[in-house]
Structure 1
Amino acid sequence: MRLLLVEDEPQMAEALSQALTQFDIIVDHAPTLEIARYAVSEQVHDAIVLDRQLPDGDGISLLTYLRSINLSIPVIVLTALGSVPDRVTGLDMGADDYLAKPFAVEELLARVRALLRRPSAIAPLIATLGKLEFNLDSREARVDGVALDLPRRELLVLEALIRRQGRTVLRSALEEAVYGFDDEIQSNALDSHVSRLRKKLSDAGADVEVHGIRGVGYLLRCLP
C-alpha cells in the first residue's frame, strides 16, 4: 500500500511516517499543497492523509484539484479544525473521512483500512501471465491458485512489472514504485529485490521470468 501524507509539521510527519511504515505502508510525505499536487500527478497512491492548515493554503483545496484531474483516491482529512462546521465542509468537499487532532495512530490506521475495504463498483482486476495471477486490488500474487509469500518490496516490484508485462520498465520507474520519496536507496537494492523475486517465481513454476536489460531496466515475460 502506498499513502500520501500531506502534513507540514515535521515532528508529526516523521512520527506518522514511522508508524505507518511499520504496517508495510510506503509513505510519500508532502509538506505543502504544491508538493502534494506534484506527488499525485507523478505517483499512484491508495489513500491520502491530508492536513488542512498548510503553509500555502487550506488542504481542502487538494480535493478540488483531485476532482479536476479525475482522480478518485480515498482521503482522510487530519486536522486541528475539528468543529462540526469544519467537518461538514471537509466532507461536503469530497473527503471520505475526517479525524481531528489530537488522535491515536491506531485509530488513523483503522480508518485507512476501513476506507480501503469499502466495496468497489468495479470487479477486482486480475492480471495474468503464464501461471501467474496478480490481483491488482488486493495485491495478492498466486501461481496455480497458490499464494506467493512475497515481502512488501518484492510484491511492489512484481506489481509494477505485471502492470507493464511484455514491456521494459525503466529502473527509475521501478524505484519510484518500490520506494517512498524520502527513502534512501542503496545502489544494488533494486537488483537484490528482483533477484529474490526471480527465484521465487521460478521455484513456484510460474512459467514467467524477470528479464534484465543491462543499464535500462526489467521486463516480465513468459518463458520461451
Structure 2
Amino acid sequence: MNNLPRQKLRELIEKYGSSLYEDPRRCEGMLRDLCGQYRREINVLISAINQNLVAEMLEQKRNNIPPDLFLGRLARQMQDNLAIAEDASIWAVESWAIALGMISDTSTVEGVTLAPRYTAVKTKYTLVLNIVDNANNDWRYTIDLEEAYEDNPQLFFAKSNGKEQRKFTVALEAVLGRKVKRSEVDRILQHWCNQISLGYRSAYMTI
C-alpha cells in the first residue's frame, strides 16, 4: 500500500476536522483530487467509513479506550466483511487512527509495525476468482500477485507476454468442456482486474 493517501487523509482531517468522515462522498472526492492514482488505497479508506469502523474508532477514543485494544479487531472485522487482503484492512484502520490522532505513524498495533511514509509494503498473496456456469457449477482459479501489481493488475498479465492469459484460457476450457472466445476471456479477466485494483482478494462471476 502506498502511504501518500494516508498523509493526504491526515492533512484533510487536520484542515476540516474529524467530522469529514460523516460525508464519505466528499471525503472520497477530496482524496481523488489529491491522489487519485491510488484507487485501491482510497477505496479501502472509504470502505472503513462505510463499515462504520471510523465511527467506532471515535467512540472508543471518546471512552479513552487504548487503541491497541480495538484496532486489530476492527482490521480483522473489515477483512472478513469485505473479503479484502489483510494488509489492506490493517493499512486502512491504521491510516484512520493516524489521521484521527490516535496513534503515531511509527506505532505498532498488535504486533504490526506501520510502514514508513511514502513506501509500499511488499507482499505476495493469492487472489481467487470464482466462476459459476449456467449449470451452477463452481470453479476456483487462483494467481499469486505481488503488491507492485495491485494498482495495475492488467500489467501482471501483460508482462507475462500472454502466458498467464493462455494458462487461464486452457484451465477455463478444461472446466467448461468447450472452446472459449478471446473476448470472453478478456471480459472475465477485466472484471477480475477491476476487483483486484479495488482491494478485493476474491471475485465472483457467472458465465
TM-score tier after normalising by the smaller chain length: 0.3 to 0.5
Identify which of structures 1 and 2 has the higher relative contact order when contacts are C-alpha pairs closer than 8 Å and 6+ apart: 2
Give me the TM-score of the superposition, normalised by structure 2.
Answer: 0.36
Give me the TM-score of the superposition, normalised by structure 1.
Answer: 0.34
Question: Would you tell me which structure has more strand in proportion to its own residues?
Answer: 1
Question: Would you tell me which structure has more helix in proportion to its own residues?
Answer: 2
